[in-house]
Structure 1
Amino acid sequence: MQKIVIALLLLVNTTVSAQNESREQSPKQLVQDFFEAFHKQDTLALRNLAQKGAKLESVSMDAEGNTKLSSEEYSKFLKSIASIPAEVSFEEKLHEFRVEENGLLATVTTPYSFYYNGDFTHCGVNSFQLVKFNGTWKIVYLIDTRTTQACD
């Protein structure tokens, strides 16, 4: 009888644990939430999705064909999102998600096309670096490429 009770307790504990894991936000869901908040200009939600001190960088080519790397603090990114006028529309269309998760670290890569007031402006690839803090995924680093060429 004691073995049956122990087996039942283990089964219940395993089931509850599996349900809790399935409720956790996945790396892909965090990135989807990021873009939902981005399009809504919800800076509070964007702030909550990132770890304090998160970094943003962008890679592009200048007019002479040299690689240019631009860096920005996440807090400045939030201020720039908040300052976009209401009459301006923008959309970053994601084409797919590539997710690599390894314990407390995850990378989510998303090719995209960007539209400003309905007009295509550029395309590229986002690469999100995520860390799981106390069971919650947070953005710690985001780098993207930006180009107007070879956008399919």
Structure 2
Amino acid sequence: MKKIALFCAGLLVTSAAVAGTPEEDAVLAPVQAFFAGLSARDAAAMKAPFLPGGSMVLMRNGKPGQMTIEQFAERVSKPGTTKIEEKIHDPLIRIDNDLAVVWAPFDFYVDGKVDHCGTDLFNMVKKDGTWMIAGIADTGKKECR
């Protein structure tokens, strides 16, 4: 019975996160701005929603790859002919004062087809009344749905 109650509680939290309170929408705004910059391969747009010096940890094959947002933006913003896009779904958002996290499954598309998937974890901070990304960690795997 405890497992069922915990499962149901988790569904309620997820449903509330999807519904989007104004504060949850504000937390997600820089995440969506980052993804828009990523799709456009625009380094400045990718860096804009980040705290300066923000970092990324990309878990691949059980090994962490670490870089700054500046390094990541430089790597991704190189001209390319492929269309890239990352989409999250069912975000779980937790907010405590000026600190928040966004935990969400994602699919990464190359030319409209899923290339890899996993889970994104965004560490968020509110600076001068605006939510910003302090860091991202993600998992990445090729075996998707």
TM over 0.5: yes
CA distance 1:72–1:120, shift in 2 (3 Å): same
**Paired amino acid for 1:126:** D
Q: Which secondary structure state, in structure 1, belongs to the residue aligned with residue 141 of structure 2?
A: coil
- Deviations 1:12-70, CA, capped at 9 Å, x for gaps: xxxxxxxxxx69x7111221222122212232222220001101001122xxxxx2111
1:69 corresponds in structure 2 to 64
Instruction: Show structure 2 runs of 5+ residues with no match.
Output: 1-21
Larger C-alpha radius of gyration, 1 or 2? 1
**Paired amino acid for 2:47:** R
Identity of aligned residues (%): 27
Q: TM-score, normalised by structure 2?
A: 0.77
Question: In 2, Cα distance between the equivalents of 1:37 and 1:75?
Answer: 13
**Paired amino acid for 2:141:** T
2:32 corresponds in structure 1 to 32
Instruction: Show structure 1 runs of 5+ residues with no match.
Output: 1-21, 62-66
1:119 and 2:78 matched: no
Question: In 2, Cα distance between the equivalents of 1:54 and 1:68?
Answer: 20
Question: In 1, Cα distance between the equivalents of 2:114 and 2:45?
Answer: 26
> How many residues matched?
124
- Deviations 1:116-146, CA, capped at 9 Å, x for gaps: 1233221101100011111111111100000
1:144 and 2:138 matched: yes
Deviation for aligned residue 1:90: 1.2
1:104 and 2:98 matched: yes
